[in-house]
Structure 1
Amino acid sequence: MRDLSVAVFRPDDERLTDAVELIDSLGATPIPDPMLSVEPTGAAPREDADYVVLTSKTGAELVSEAGWDPGGATVCAIGPKTADAAREAGYEVDTVPDEYTSSGLVATLEDEVDGARVEVARSDHGSAVLLEGLEAAGAYVHETILYRLVRPEGSGESAELAADGELDAACFTSSLTVEHFLEVAADRGVREAATAGLEDAVVGVIGEPTLETAVEHGIDVDVVASEATFDALACETVEAAAPTYHE
């Protein structure tokens, strides 16, 4: 019986290290295959907003490095990891939604942002749900692109394993990780085989947008994480794959 192999697609920094450690602690074999690389733009959020929304740990770190001062703005983080990173950078976080998604943040803020200036600081692949939802609530929304997300060179080991039927599970953390997985599979000439290989694996996704992207590209999804965190995604995906592993 071979080990339960689980592909993780986190950026190649402490997030990938933490993901590998978590998968290993669950008794499975992590397949680290970064599908995202961060390219900072050098931009910083406006400093005259009433609300500022940070949507990632990377964003919180970049605004700190830029010396950004929120002034009297209400600082909102999309989830606990982002909030922790912002606090570590010295910012006071005022709002974290109960549901760690764009729609969850909109639901938290929609009754208080009518007429307010809202600054959204994030990557170039942020969901339109956040901007459109805040605008629908009456906010004046400005978006600052802090960084671009690109596919790193050398990625694709997981696609080869899936194509060979040797991948037991995969944890997709965003729509872009799905798209980059399929792109690198195509570059290696194994897209059809890799997609077929995922049918025999347990595929976990971090939320509804990622689910929709996977389904649109013909990937069968087995697990949608109960909350939008990697810890929940990894634990629930490995748990779903474990019965096959232990047979």
Structure 2
Amino acid sequence: MSERAGAGAPTGSDRPTVAVFRPADDRLRDAVALLESLGVEPVPDPMLAVEPTGETPRGDADYVVLTSKTGVELAADSGWTPGGAALCAIGDATAAACRDAGWGVDLVPEEYTSSGLVAALADRVDGARVEVARSDHGSAVLTDGLDAAGAYVHESVLYELVRPEDSGDSAALAADGGLDAALFSSSLTVANWLEAAEERGCRADALAGLEDAVVGAIGPPTRDTAEEYGVGVDVVPGDADFERLARAVRDEL
């Protein structure tokens, strides 16, 4: 990262440009509003779109694991409820969505990751039926870890995550040296950003542009993915929370 904060800001603004890749729904709107309140210029470039599969979580589990706000909302909209199962949520946002749906949350791991949940459940689930309800890009760390702990694991894919066809404006901006920071909120956003850059014929230049920017990753798995692709990461917040990521990157800028 070089000291160039604000170099990519649009004409008439001295605010640093910060790319955000949340899906084009309330998450992106909230992210843009947050970034504006932090005094930076948001560059919204959704790298994920949600396509529901129509599946619902099974209803005969001892434990149900939900990993995202999107999964909670899709399950609730289908009329599903956890019944007598112990409900586990990865992250405060997922837990809040569960409570908004009227469900009590029994466990939120201290570390908001698949490995954090496995560690929290490892001594509880031997012989238990565990339902994992999430996207088609869920980490095998969760299901394999629960299986190794002796659980009978079933996974329901509630939605697929795809890259929007018109994504990649921020990659082109980075290639031109006009991006000051990027907020990668999942491993898939990293892969999709680079795929979008490849489609636009600017992958090498976009990667070079990130070297002169502040790169934030929402947690260690996202950081590891970025580094595997050759993207250096400058900021990883203590908790896997988007607002904390945004504030940490702003502070680094």
Residue identity matched to 2:85: A
Q: Distance in 2 between matches of 1:160 and 1:76?
A: 40
Q: 2:165 aligns to what?
A: 153
Residue identity matched to 1:138: G
Identity %: 66
Residue identity matched to 2:178: E
Q: Can you list the C-alpha shifts for 1:130-189, whole angstroms capped at 9, x where unaligned?
A: 111111111111000000000012111100110000000000011100010001101111
1:79-98 matches, within 5 Å, as 79-98=91-110
Shift, 1:69, TM fit: 2.5
Q: Distance in 2 between matches of 1:195 and 1:185?
A: 9
Q: 1:222 aligns to what?
A: 234
1:159 match: secondary structure: helix
1:204 match: secondary structure: strand
2:223 match: secondary structure: helix
Q: Distance in 1 between matches of 2:107 and 2:229?
A: 35
1:42-61 matches, within 5 Å, as 42-61=54-73
Detail structure 1 runs of 4+ shifted over 2 Å in the superposition: none
Shift, 1:70, TM fit: 1.6
Residue identity matched to 2:52: P
Q: Distance in 1 between matches of 2:179 and 2:227?
A: 19
Q: Distance in 2 between matches of 1:104 and 1:217?
A: 24
Structure 2, gaps ≥5 residues long: 1-5, 7-13
Q: 1:16 aligns to what?
A: 28
Residue identity matched to 2:212: D
1:105-116 matches, within 5 Å, as 105-116=117-128
Q: 2:225 aligns to what?
A: 213
2:183 match: secondary structure: strand
Q: Distance in 2 between matches of 1:82 and 1:93?
A: 10
Q: Can you list the C-alpha shifts for 1:100-126, whole angstroms capped at 9, x where unaligned?
A: 111111111111111100000000001
Verify: 1:194 aligned to 2:206, yes or no.
yes
Scaled by the length of structure 1, what TM-score is found? Answer: 0.96
Count of equivalent residues: 241
Q: 1:244 aligns to what?
A: none
Q: 2:131 aligns to what?
A: 119
Residue identity matched to 2:215: V
Verify: 1:76 aligned to 2:51, yes or no.
no
Verify: 1:3 aligned to 2:10, yes or no.
no
